[in-house]
Amino acid sequence: MTLTGKRILLIIGGGIAAYKALDLIRRLRERGASVRPVLTAAGKQFVTPLSVASLAGMPVHEDLFSLTEEEEMGHIELSRAADLVVVAPATADLMAKAAHGLANDLASTLLLATDKKVLMAPAMNVRMWLHPATARNVAQLQADGVLFAGPADGEMACGEFGPGRMVEPLDIVAAIEKAVAGSTTIPLTGYGPLAGRKIVITSGPTHEPIDPVRYIANRSSGKQGHAIAQAAARAGAQVVLISGPVSIADPAGVQTRHVETARDMLAAVEASLPADIFIGTAAVADWRVENAGSQKMKKSLSGGPVLQFAENPDILAHVAGQAVQRPKLVVGFAAETQNVIAYAQDKLARKKCDLIIANDVSPETGVMGGSKNEVHLVSKSGVESWPLLDKEEVARRLVATLADLLKKGGAA
């Protein structure tokens, strides 16, 4: 029994997924753990204290100010007399309270008072999960050391589709086993349509030095590539993100490697292969300065500096042309200011990709550095145009499309 003698304090939040907490209790006890259950007021709307207590074989704790409970076991003691605190389902509300240190009911007080590791299994509507407020709270909780199992992607009880489903009880058990074994890195991954797949993504610009203090760059922010990395991790993939210099944060649950030049980026990509999918989102500089100075160029240089350029390696074409370890899907981006589709079709053939995501980056579109993107998926089988969407939504749809393609065997 993998959890023999382990004491789990299980906080059941209010959501339709609360019924799965009943099965979770059974699974934990089968493995030798004891489960002390806490039910929030909202949780009580979905499962009864009687069924929770019967399965746990322990009384349910519900109130912050219960005299009998306080006599038997105060909330401070309750929060510490466990090996692990598990919140399943973790609702948007509970996560927000925990992220901000609120303590106005028993569950939130226990989360603030505990000195033990906390594992959360989020469950909420897809819009709530994708809301920037929830994303901020998740980032804060992760920074505070809270571990997450899920959420998974899929159809939800409310009829919508996307991330927000609570992962299955056995997946939570697996995460609990890892957490009690001392793992501090249970990322938001391991479930969903890309579970078991590895994805390598490039993102951001490259910097090509002119001398030790100057460089050539472009306006890529890395927002789209980072959003794809995040969406892929949430869909269960193992993600390696190779990022040029950007000012945005590394996505959660993603292994991020930072590089500067195109040649560094290529080396990092090669070191990260093999993979199931490669996505070249980076705006890689086509040229590097061949006569870059090893010392800072002086203003007094007569006639100003004369830069000589050498062509950079094409990372995307290089990956697509691999004889041995070519990923099953190689996806490129085509940022253009005119003839968007025609240029993308040319790139698809020339670079031997499976899919090119074409977008118009004319200054008036605001795509470069902005938060929205309007893309066209160009493959051998045709062109599919998506409306103007947030880059996060483009990322989520792209990840879903790629997961479908992989399931069908590869080519677009």
Which residues are known catalytic residues? 158
Residues 86-115 close enough to bind ligand C5P by CB under 6 A: none
Which span (86-94, 176-184, 208-216, 274-282) binds ligand C5P, by CB under 6 A? 274-282
Which residues does 104 contact at the CB level (< 8 Å), separation at least 6?
97
Between 46 and 278, whose beta carbon lies closer to ligand C5P?
278
- Rule CB under 6 A: choose which of 284, 289, 348, 402 binds ligand C5P: 284
Between 147 and 331, whose beta carbon lies closer to ligand C5P?
331
- Rule CB under 6 A: choose which of 25, 334, 394, 403 binds ligand C5P: 334
The yes or no reply on residue 333 touching ligand C5P (CB under 6 A) is yes
Which span (161-169, 176-184, 307-315, 358-366) binds ligand C5P, by CB under 6 A? 307-315
Between 25 and 284, whose beta carbon lies closer to ligand C5P?
284
- Contact code string over 308-327 relative to ligand C5P, x by CB under 6 A: ----x-xxx-----------
Minimum Å gap between C-beta 263 and ligand C5P is 10
Q: Yes or no: say if 368 and 361 are a contact pair by the CB < 8 Å rule.
A: yes
Between 155 and 286, whose beta carbon lies closer to ligand C5P?
286
Distance CA 67, CA 86 (A): 25
What H or E segment, with its residue span, contains residue 334? strand 329-336
Token readout for 223 is: 């927002």
First to last CA, the chain: 45
Q: Yes or no: say if 60 and 129 are a contact pair by the CB < 8 Å rule.
A: no
- Looking up tokens 């939130």, which residue turns up? 108
- Rule CB under 6 A: choose which of 280, 354, 377, 395 binds ligand C5P: 280
Residues 214-273 close enough to bind ligand C5P by CB under 6 A: 262
- Looking up tokens 């950079």, which residue turns up? 312
The yes or no reply on residue 3 touching ligand C5P (CB under 6 A) is no
Minimum Å gap between C-beta 206 and ligand C5P is 8
Instruction: Give the Å distances, CA to CA, from 269 to 69, 218, 277, 284.
Output: 57, 20, 12, 13
The yes or no reply on residue 202 touching ligand C5P (CB under 6 A) is yes
Instruction: Give the Å distances, CA to CA, from 319 to 327, 344, 377.
Output: 8, 18, 19
Between 248 and 317, whose beta carbon lies closer to ligand C5P?
317
The yes or no reply on residue 282 touching ligand C5P (CB under 6 A) is yes
Residues 21-80 close enough to bind ligand C5P by CB under 6 A: none
Minimum Å gap between C-beta 278 and ligand C5P is 9
The yes or no reply on residue 207 touching ligand C5P (CB under 6 A) is no
Q: What angle do CA 243, 249, 254 make, to 5 degrees?
A: 65
Between 189 and 230, whose beta carbon lies closer to ligand C5P?
230
Minimum Å gap between C-beta 333 and ligand C5P is 4
**Around 241, how many Cα atoms within 13 Å sit in the side-chain half-sphere?**
28
How many residues contact ligand C5P, by CB under 6 A? 15
- Contact code string over 338-357 relative to ligand C5P, x by CB under 6 A: ---------x----------
- What does 206-272 look like in DSSP terms, one character per residue? --EESSSS-EE-----SHHHHHHHHHHHHTT-EEEEEE-S-SSPPPTT-EEEE--SHHHHHHHHHHH
**Around 39, how many Cα atoms within 13 Å sit in the side-chain half-sphere?**
24
Q: Max alpha carbon distance in the chain (Å)?
A: 88
CA dihedral sign of residues 15, 10, 236, 241: positive
Of the candidates 278, 294, 131, 312, the one whose C-alpha atom is nearest the C-alpha of residue 205 is: 312
Between 93 and 314, whose beta carbon lies closer to ligand C5P?
314
- Rule CB under 6 A: choose which of 122, 151, 163, 332 binds ligand C5P: 332
**Binding residues for ligand C5P (CB under 6 A):** 202, 262, 280-282, 284, 286, 312, 314-316, 332-334, 347
